[in-house]
Every structure is written in C-alpha cells, then in structure tokens.
Structure 1
Amino acid sequence: MPGSRLTRRDRRAIATGLADGLGYAEIARRLARPTSTISREITRNGGRTGYEPATAHRATKRRVRHRKHETESAAGPRRHGPDTLTAVEQLLADTLIGTGLSRTPARVLAALYTADDATMSAAQLGRHLQISSASVSKAVGYLEEQEVIRRERIPHRRAERYVVDTEAWFQAVLASAQRNQQLADAARRGADLLGRATPAGARLHALSRFHQQLTNDMTERVRHWRHALTEPTPQSPSTRP
C-alpha cells in the first residue's frame, strides 16, 4: 500500500519493469506508488542498468537496522553492524590470502561468503570491492575453475550472478581425499612388491598407512558436516513431536 515500505515482490516487479524498458512513472503506476519512491529506490540501488531486487532489499534492511541502532544506541551496546561485517569480510579475505589464494579472488570469495544470500552479480562485486570489471571477470573465472563458486542467471534479467556453494567445498575436500587414496594405494603396492621387511618397503608401508588414515579422516569429516548442515537443529519446529 502507498506509504508502506517496498516488499520483495515490489522490488521484483521493479526489476521486471526495468527489463521491459518501462519508465519510472509507469512502474510506479503499476505498483500504486509515487514516482518519487520508485525513482529513489532505483537510483540508490544501482540505477536502471544495475538494479537487482535481492540486493536492494538487503541494502534497505541494513539501512533500517542502522537507523534503529541510532535511535536505540542509548539503551545499550550494539552487538554488530556494518563496521563489524566489513571487519569479518577483511579477516576472511586475509586468511584466504594467507593460504595461498591471490588477493582479488580472495576478496571476491570473502565478499560472497559474507553476503546474506552468498550471491552477487559481477557489477555488484565491482562496486562493493571497488575494482574493475576486468578484475572481477578474472577473479571469478579462476574461482569457477577451482569449482568454488558457480554462476546462475538472474531471473528476468540478462545478467548473471555468482554463488558460493557449500557443496563445492565438500567436493574439493573429497577430490583431495581421492588423491590421498591414490597415493596410499600406490605406496601399499610398492611395499608389497619390495617386501615390508625391507627398509624401502617399510617406509612405503608407513606412508600408505598415513595417507589411508588421512583419507578416512577427510571423508568422515565431510560426511559429518554434510549431515550437520542439512539436519534441522534441535530447536527447529520440525523436530518437535
């Protein structure tokens, strides 16, 4: 209704209207909203070519939380806010860089992980990280090759967005476990051929046992965390009798 905040459905309708080439006034008429509301919504959230409804909705929620904090700041300390989110994103990026990931892919991955729905378009990543479209393209290309992120179409738009998928990390760990298994098998065959009583055979046998245990541990960890991430928590209504 006029005067109330825009809903997710309203924002999707705005995106559809923009994709269809409608003017602000026509979009406003269809939503029974003032034209100034539609114009302000689009301008503050990427403009006609960069507007994305999910991102706009998240940005509005952040602004509402920020205003609420300013109103209630005298009542007690703040648990977290935009500065904290930025610090967490930077911490994650620095840690990824420390593991050997290049700076820009690390920043892109950290930004995706700390986004509410773990997804952003190339334009959003560029604006958020203040880097060129070429840098975004190179970074996401590398991350796609590593199967850490995937791309998907934005509904009603010609643009694409990038999604960080937990399953991709599981697959990466399982691929590493498979390589360890291959090494364990090769070392075991070598030990059997040389004889485990020989120095070389004993060494290969120990290597085989180490990598076999490592493989078992990695596989068990993946199974455990998959279960933990898919099962409802004890507090979930679905677990109640």
Structure 2
Amino acid sequence: MPVPGGRLTHTDRRRIAAWLADGLGYAEIGRRLGRPTSTISREVERNGTPGDYSAEHAQQAAGDRARRRKPARPAASTIDAQPSAAVRGFVDRFATLLAATGLPRMTARVFVRLLTADADGLTAADLVRELQVSPASVSKSIGYLEAMELVVRQPDSGGRRQRYLIDDDVWLRAWQADTGAHGEIAIAAQQGIEIFGADTTPGARLAKMGQFFARLSEQMRGSRLAETLGYDALTVLAALVHARRPLDLSALAIALDWPRDRTIAALDAIQRQPAVADPFLLQAIGPTTYTLTTRPDRLSPAQREALEE
C-alpha cells in the first residue's frame, strides 16, 4: 500500500483513469489506492475532469511541476546559518496560533519554520539544530505534515539527505482538503436523516449540521466546478425532474445523447457537491439507477404534513 502523502506514480494514474472510466467515485478510488479522497479529487481536478482525465497528461504535468520546484544546492555560507531572533520569534508566535486550531505544537513549529525557509527548504538536521529539538520529534512532525500533503521532500543534490519544503500549492491543497471533508460531512448528515427520519430529534440535529457544512463547503469551493461540468450537472437534474421517474445510467445517457463517461462525471459532481441540487437530493437506487427526492431538511415535518393534506 502506498505511504500516505507519497507521490502518485504513473501506474497509480493509469488505475485512476481506468476506475474513473468504470464509474467509481473518488472515495472508492482512494480506498483502493490507500490514499485520502482529497488526493484523488485534487489529482483529477488539477488535470481535467472525471470524463477526460488522462494518465499520460497527468504524469507529464506532475513531472513538469517537479522540475520547476527542484531545489538548488544551498550556498556553503548559508548551510550553518542560524535564523535571526526575529525569525525565531515569529516561528514561535505563528506556531502557537496554528496549535490553537488543533495542529500539534511541535508539528506547527516545524511547519512554520519550513514556511519561512528559502526555496531550497531545510533538512531534518537543519530543523533539529534550529528548533533545538530531538530528531525523533522532527521525524514525527514531518510524517504528520506529509500525510496531510502540506510538505514535500526532495533529494539533496548529494543524494544522501532529504530536503523538506513547502511548495506553491500548499494553501490550495489545505483549502481543498478542508472543503472535501466538509462536503463529506454534509453527505453523511443527509444519510443520517434518512435513517433516523427528519421528524426525530437526531434527524433535526443532523439537518442543521448538514445545512451548515453544505453551505461551508460551497462557500469554500466557490466556483470549483468547471463551467462545462456544472452545466452538465444541472442538465442531469433537469432530466430527472422532467422524467418524474428513476432513470438508470444508460437510459439517462441515451436520452441526453451523451457519452457514458460524461453522464457519470455529471452525476459524480452532484454527489460530491449536494448543494448543486438544492432543494432536491440525488438518490441512488441500486448501483446505476438514480432519482430525485426533496431534501428532508428543506421542509419541516409540519410543513410536509400540511402540503400532503
């Protein structure tokens, strides 16, 4: 199983392409590869859409990015340089703020020091010396940050050590990872409402939580759905409303005169961002059949009862 945070290989990307073509969602692909769902969604969004993801193109793009950020050999005069008192003070203050958000204190210190390092990053020995902590503490913190994909490693020009650095996409990755988690919480809340019932105490709590995290996910994503994919998602919703009955994937693709993978991509987009369908909820009936229902949290039990009379 791949190490969390390790880079995707060409073989991984070929598998992702094949599984996307089979209609698998990001969560299932991530499970099969032993990767976070956010890793798979970011890989696909960075290199296309579920309908046009190419393993060869993605591999070439990843190679180009790696070459652009390959660190240069640090000048000999800077190898043993210590950060200034101002830098040390900033690292400690900023780390304290990050620790208040839930990041372990030592991990926060390592992260901020890498954040404030030069483009070539720092080695583990540099971090041990500058932060005056044990090698084990640095190693544990680096592992934590790599698992969150906030730090990347590059071989030193001598090939005997690893250098750690923050790349240009770190904030985008952190933002997207949080967004993905919020969206998954919203989906899970909707599933809980269906289990407990919207008119129960647990159902009401889950409805409020689902609404909150769905709004948060959409606000953080902004316009993350590509314009074409967003249009396709709305077209699928219109088709299901117009049909007034469940449709299987093949029937939906035929009716829309779309390739199967385009239809899968649109359905997947709706499932990943349920707020796109608001006030409806896309519901799967079996592995490939879909229908629309009203979101259980949009109407209170009293409102539903009044409408049924």
Are residues 1:54 and 2:56 paired? Answer: no
Map 1:23-42 → 2, pairs under 5 A: none
Partner of 2:110: 108
Whole-angstrom CA distance in 1 between matches of 2:79 and 2:158: 20
Matched letter for residue 93 of structure 1: A
Per-residue deviation, 1:106: 2.0
Please list the CA deviations of residues 35-69 of structure 1 after superposition, one character each: whole Å capped at 9, or x if unmatched.
xxxxxxxxxxxxxxxxx942546579x99xxxxxx
Report which structure shows greater RCO (CA 8 Å, sep ≥6).
2
Uncovered stretches (5+) of structure 2, i.e. residues with no partner = 1-71, 226-309
Per-residue deviation, 1:120: 0.3
Q: Secondary structure at 1:54's aligned position in 2? A: coil
Partner of 1:139: 141
Whole-angstrom CA distance in 2 between matches of 1:58 and 1:222: 41
Q: 1:158 to 1:118 in 2, by over 3 A?
A: closer
CA contact (8 A) 1:112 1:163 kept: yes
Matched letter for residue 150 of structure 1: V
Q: 1:135 to 1:217 in 2, by over 3 A?
A: same
**Which one of 111, 127, 130 corresponds to residue 125 of structure 1?**
127
Partner of 1:234: none
Q: 1:184 to 1:138 in 2, by over 3 A?
A: closer
Partner of 1:157: 159
TM-score of the aligned structures, taking structure 1 as reference length: 0.51
- In terms of fraction of residues, the more helix-rich structure is 1
Whole-angstrom CA distance in 1 between matches of 2:102 and 2:124: 23
Partner of 2:211: 209
Q: 1:151 to 1:214 in 2, by over 3 A?
A: same
Whole-angstrom CA distance in 1 between matches of 2:177 and 2:130: 32
CA contact (8 A) 2:73 2:156 kept: no
Per-residue deviation, 1:190: 4.4
Whole-angstrom CA distance in 1 between matches of 2:112 and 2:135: 17
CA contact (8 A) 1:112 1:118 kept: no
Matched letter for residue 160 of structure 1: Q
Q: Secondary structure at 1:125's aligned position in 2? A: helix
Per-residue deviation, 1:82: 3.0
Whole-angstrom CA distance in 1 between matches of 2:197 and 2:127: 57
Per-residue deviation, 1:157: 3.3
Per-residue deviation, 1:194: 6.3
Q: 1:221 to 1:149 in 2, by over 3 A?
A: farther
Q: How many residues align?
A: 153
Matched letter for residue 105 of structure 1: T
Uncovered stretches (5+) of structure 1, i.e. residues with no partner = 1-51, 64-80, 224-241
Per-residue deviation, 1:88: 1.3
Per-residue deviation, 1:142: 2.4
Percent of residue pairs identical = 33
